[in-house]
Chain A
Amino acid sequence: DAKTTQPPSMDCAEGRAANLPCNHSTISGNEYVYWYRQIHSQGPQYIIHGLKNNETNEMASLIITEDRKSSTLILPHATLRDTAVYYCSINGGSNYKLTFGKGTLLTVNP
């Protein structure tokens, strides 16, 4: 069940901002938008999540459109270590099962 749609791959220059889009047009009112990333052969790492307001933490910013049907994850100054598969997911919060789409492979180039 493809609840989210992401581009399969993106490239970004080191030091530049990386903007990763996600479409989630079927999101319901109580569902959050989550972003995770997975570096090769490791477990996913939590990045950020939001409900309807834009969010920012030490890793990234999350911009959610007013209709909540899409969002953008922003890595303000991408580094080589940010090369990973980035997953956007929607669900109702803790204890709700978290499923993943195909994600976006972000490659940060020197």
Chain B
Amino acid sequence: GAVVSQHPSWVICKSGTSVKIECRSLDFQATTMFWYRQFPKQSLMLMATSNEGSKATYEQGVEKDKFLINHASLTLSTLTVTSAHPEDSSFYICSAPHPQSYGYTFGSGTRLTVV
């Protein structure tokens, strides 16, 4: 139980376009979702925290106008990378608190390549 489904698993887009990544909690309600970015051979870096029905909270140095986060329902949070540039190419991962424990459940990640 407590599965977070993340789509797409990989995407290639052209510079200047926007890409939307979705994370769905399949069998539980996620009032909070965390979004991470991971560059090759590096650790996960927390980008922002999305809360259902309210504005997301961004970590220092993360551009909120570039990385749009929407958490419109208790089972869906989206991250939109706007006006993508090659330096935005990365592995993006979402996570939600596990409902029956104090742990966190992660999505499978999205590999974004901007060309």
Which of A's residues lie within 8 Å of B, judged by CB?
32, 34, 36, 38, 41-46, 49, 87, 93-95, 97-103
The reply to whether A97 and B49 form a contact with Cβ atoms under 8 Å apart is yes
Q: A44 vs B111: C-alpha distance in the bound complex, in angstroms?
A: 14
Residues of B within 8 A of A93 (CB): 102
Q: A93 vs B49: C-alpha distance in the bound complex, in angstroms?
A: 15
Q: A36 vs B36: C-alpha distance in the bound complex, in angstroms?
A: 15
Interface SS majority for chain B: strand
- Tell me, yes or no, whether B74 is within 8 Å of chain A by CB: no
Taking CB as reference atom, which chain B residue is nearest A47? Answer: B103
Interchain nearest-CB distance for A68 vs B (Å)? 16
The reply to whether A43 and B102 form a contact with Cβ atoms under 8 Å apart is no
- Known contacts A43-B106, A49-B102: does B43 contact A100 (CB below 8 Å)? yes
Residues of B within 8 A of A101 (CB): 43
The reply to whether A94 and B46 form a contact with Cβ atoms under 8 Å apart is no
Q: A42 vs B93: C-alpha distance in the bound complex, in angstroms?
A: 9
Taking CB as reference atom, which chain A residue is nearest B103? Answer: A46
Interchain nearest-CB distance for B38 vs A (Å)? 9
The reply to whether B43 and A49 form a contact with Cβ atoms under 8 Å apart is no
The reply to whether A94 and B106 form a contact with Cβ atoms under 8 Å apart is no
Question: How many pairs of A and B residues are in contact by the CB < 8 Å rule?
Answer: 60
Interchain nearest-CB distance for A86 vs B (Å)? 11
- Known contacts A49-B102, A100-B43, A102-B43: does B32 contact A42 (CB below 8 Å)? no
Interchain nearest-CB distance for A107 vs B (Å)? 15
In the complex, per-residue mask of B67-96: 1 if CB is within 8 Å of any chain A CB, else 0: 000000000000000000000000101010
* B103 contact from A38, A43, A49, Cβ within 8 A: A49
The reply to whether A98 and B109 form a contact with Cβ atoms under 8 Å apart is no
Q: A97 vs B57: C-alpha distance in the bound complex, in angstroms?
A: 11
Interchain nearest-CB distance for A52 vs B (Å)? 14
In the complex, per-residue mask of B94-110: 1 if CB is within 8 Å of any chain A CB, else 0: 01011001111111110
- Known contacts A95-B32, A95-B97, A97-B34: does B43 contact A45 (CB below 8 Å)? no
Q: A28 vs B23: C-alpha distance in the bound complex, in angstroms?
A: 32
